[in-house]
Structures are given as C-alpha cells and as structure tokens.
Amino acid sequence: MTNVDIHRDDLADLVGKSLSIEEFVDRITFMGAGPEGVQGDVMTFDVFPNRPDLYSVEGIARGLRGFLGLEVGLPVYRVEPSGIEFLVDRSVADVRPYAVGGIVRGLDLEDALLRSLVDLQEKLHLTVGRRRKKVAIGIHDMDKSRRRTPTRPCSRPTSASRRSAWHRRWISWRS
C-alpha cells in the first residue's frame, strides 16, 4: 500500500469546501483509502493498489468533489494536435511495446504542484510500474534553473547472463 500525506488546508482549497479533519478522514475512507493517522493538520492515508487515482492530494480532491456531489461526470479537456512528432526507437519494442506522450500548455507550475507531480510519479513508479525503469514527467516550459526531472537508476541486472534470466522472468510475467 502507498501512504499519502495531505494537508487539510490544501485539500479544502482544492475541493472548494471546508470540512473538519474528522469529516475529511471519514469521506476519504469511504473512497477506498485507509486512515493511518492525523498529526496536526496533516492526514495520512494508506491507499489501496486499485486506487492509484488517490496517490496525490489533487486526485483525492477530485474524487472528493465527485463523492460530495460538487462536481460530477468526467472532465472535458480541449485536445488538438501538437505538431510534434513522438518517436520511439524500434530497439525498445520488446521492452516497451506501448508508449504514450502528451503536451500540456498554459500551466503555471508552482513549487508545491511540481513537488506533488514528482511525488505522484514516484508512487506510480514504485507501485503500478513495479519499479521498472520509468519515463520522467518532463517540465519543459520552465527556465533551466527551476527544471526538475528526477531520475532513478534502472533496476535491471547488468551482466549478460543475469540480464537474460531477468528478461525471461519479465517475459513470463507479461504473458
């Protein structure tokens, strides 16, 4: 399970409704996250693996808005071609049979939101991604002094014999 720490004030701002910590804990528990405790104004939840949408304060806020009837239905986003070509080298086809990319423009990423995105990426990498080598969320609009793209070493074995054993296990898992 994955622990998520949530500041009450941040959650209230994102939900658009101010509830007590006890009320937030109660509602979030009904959404599929086990309460781990409260320390000051920080609530900690154990999020079950089937709810990766709750791995961040933004995801919990979105779920709560629906749960409380404040915002129901799927969000609608304007999508248009970017004009940018997304190329994946053929040599990775066996390891990465699918690749997805997207460009989001016009966002002002404050430090708190950027930290939340990086934290979400790490949680997805450790849980859903099962610690496989990941593709980082790239922040390309920011000036270079504020750009942060975390990397983590690949967990693959390095020697050829260990690599082939690892590859056989990976292929059998995929099947």
More confident residue, 128 or 91: 91
How far is the C-alpha of 94 from the C-alpha of 97, rounded, in Å?
6
Residue 164: pLDDT over 80:
no
Q: How confident is the model over 72-105, as pLDDT tens digits? A: 988 888 888 888 888 888 888 887 788 888 888 8
Q: What is the mean pLDDT of residues 97-115?
A: 83
Give the pLDDT of residue 155.
41
How far is the C-alpha of 107 from the C-alpha of 120, rounded, in Å?
18
Which range is least confidently modeled, 5-9, 17-21, 95-99, 107-111?
A: 95-99
Tell me what the pLDDT averaged over the chain comes to.
Answer: 77
CA-only gyration radius of the chain, Å: 19
Q: What is the mean pLDDT of residues 104-130?
A: 83
Comma-separated ranges of CATH 3.30.56.10 domains in the chain: 2-67
CATH 2.40.50.1020 fits domain 2-67: no
Query: Does the pTM of the predicted model rise above 0.85?
Result: no
